[in-house]
Amino acid sequence: MLHVNDNFLKLPGSYLFAEIARRIKVYQQEHPEMNDLIRLGIGDVTQPLVPAVVEAMHKAVDEMGTPEGFRGYGPDYGYDFLVNAIREGDYAKRGIDIAYDEVFISDGAKCDVGNIQELFSEDAVIAVTDPVYPVYVDSNAMAGRAGDYVNDRWNRLVYLPCNSENGFVPSVPDRPVDVIYLCYPNNPTGTVLTKAQLKVFVDWAKQNGALIIYDAAYRAYVTTPDIPLSIYEIEGAREVAIECNSFSKTAGFTGTRCAYTVVPHEVKGMDAQDNAVELNAMWKRRMSTKFNGVSYPVQRGAAAVYTPEGQEQIRKIIAYYMENARVIREGLTAAGYEVFGGKDAPYIWLKVPEGMGSWEFFDVLLDRCHVVGTPGAGFGPSG
Ligand code: PLP
């Protein structure tokens, strides 16, 4: 009989969001009258796609229905029009030069941040901030790099705690690591790093031969001037960082699916003979083998985000989400809670009452207020 990948069996319980969904289901079965829950349990969007995107997608579908406009498989790494819109709109405009073949269009940042670990050796040492978006941890655990899950932590992972004591600014690792995952603006804490704080990580990675996987899925939510929207705003980052971005939170694409990852040519690893290898070439090989591209209408929709109308329309939607964040942040503060985030990210991170666990608080919030939150414990030991 087949030997399965035992690493899957080491994963604790169910994936966080599946457990939240399970608890909601149980609650609703016990309270069938309760069908107007406010669901803040997963970072999903609620507002429809903006008109510029819808129009572009309609047009693309019409094109596909004509002999001249029909397209089959697209380019493995994305259509020129979207790659160039990204290079211009997200980078060149901010003085960052990203080459055409350094951008890889995909169907989600979750897939990219989950799949990128295929490029690392089996024994690579991984550091994550704590709390952390669970995909970085679980994808490495599935590959056997996290060790064993003992007392609520993986014994081969290096955790970089982020809490109110350190102002949610992680320290660089206190031992050698090969990869550091950073997510800013941060899910789940809603906090950001300044350029100077991010530079500390870039410098450390350069000095220690480490790679940074930088997840900037929430970059569109930054309102404070001078907070970096891309790690490539930091000098030297092209040598050490891969950046993942998504249209999910920028333009409501959670159900439409489009994202991209930037792998600069300077980012290198070492093969078994100690030769330097470009991760860009490896990621190209991986994408062309395991991925067949995002659909043409969806890429047209994503490109429309960069038009003046698209930009104007998504700005309004982001302002709407940030207004919700303000209401929640100020409401919780007035109710006596200590809260973080909600200024440059849509997430609010709150300290639960003394003596209460985060799952316990989750249940109380659901039961008393009919609000679904996300328990901090699902994001790592510091959660
Ligand atoms: N990265 C972070 C930090 C996220 O919070 C999310 C979604 O919640 C994703 C990536 C997933 O993005 P996508 O919808 O592009 O897969």
In this predicted model, what pLDDT tens digit does every residue of 86-145 receive, in sequence order? 999 999 999 999 999 999 999 999 999 999 999 999 999 999 999 999 999 999 999 999
**Contact assessment for residue 198 and residue 170, using Cβ atoms and an 8 Å cutoff:** no
pLDDT value at 43 more than 90: no
pLDDT value at 321 more than 80: yes
Atom nearest to 254 CA in ligand 1: 14
Looking at residue 32, its pLDDT comes to 87
- How is residue 41 written in tokens? 């349990």
Looking at residue 361, its pLDDT comes to 95
Atom nearest to 42 CA in ligand 1: 8
Phi, then psi, of 311 in degrees rounded to 5: -60, -45
Cα 291–chain centre separation = 19
What would the mean pLDDT of 174-199 be, rounded to a whole number? Answer: 97
Looking at residue 181, its pLDDT comes to 98
Alpha carbon nearest to ligand 1 atom 8, residue:
43
Of 111, 184, 246, 294, best ligand 1 pocket probe by most atoms within 8 Å of the beta carbon: 246
Of 90, 45, 102, give the one whose Cα is nearest residue 321. 45
Looking at residue 178, its pLDDT comes to 98
- Provide the pLDDT confidence category of residue 326 given band limits of 50, 70 and 90: very high
The DSSP bridge partners found for residue 182 are: 214
> Rounded to whole angstroms, how far apart are CA atoms 365 and 348?
15
Looking at residue 378, its pLDDT comes to 87
Tell me, using a 6 A CB cutoff, whether residue 183 lines ligand 1.
yes
What would the mean pLDDT of 261-282 be, rounded to a whole number? Answer: 97
Tell me, using a 6 A CB cutoff, whether residue 246 lines ligand 1.
yes
Tell me, using a 6 A CB cutoff, whether residue 187 lines ligand 1.
yes
Tell me, using a 6 A CB cutoff, whether residue 216 lines ligand 1.
no
Report pLDDT digits (tens) over 341-379.
999 999 999 999 999 999 999 999 999 999 999 999 889
What would the mean pLDDT of 48-62 be, rounded to a whole number? Answer: 98
Tell me, using a 6 A CB cutoff, whether residue 329 lines ligand 1.
no
Looking at residue 41, its pLDDT comes to 80
pLDDT value at 226 more than 70: yes
- How is residue 113 written in tokens? 């941040």
b/e 192-219 (16+ beta carbons within 10 angstroms → b) = bbeeebbbbbbbbbeeeebbbbbbbbbb
Looking at residue 51, its pLDDT comes to 98
- Provide the pLDDT confidence category of residue 33 given band limits of 50, 70 and 90: confident
pLDDT value at 82 more than 90: yes
Looking at residue 14, its pLDDT comes to 67
Looking at residue 202, its pLDDT comes to 98
pLDDT value at 54 more than 90: yes
**Contact assessment for residue 201 and residue 181, using Cβ atoms and an 8 Å cutoff:** no
The DSSP bridge partners found for residue 212 are: 180, 241
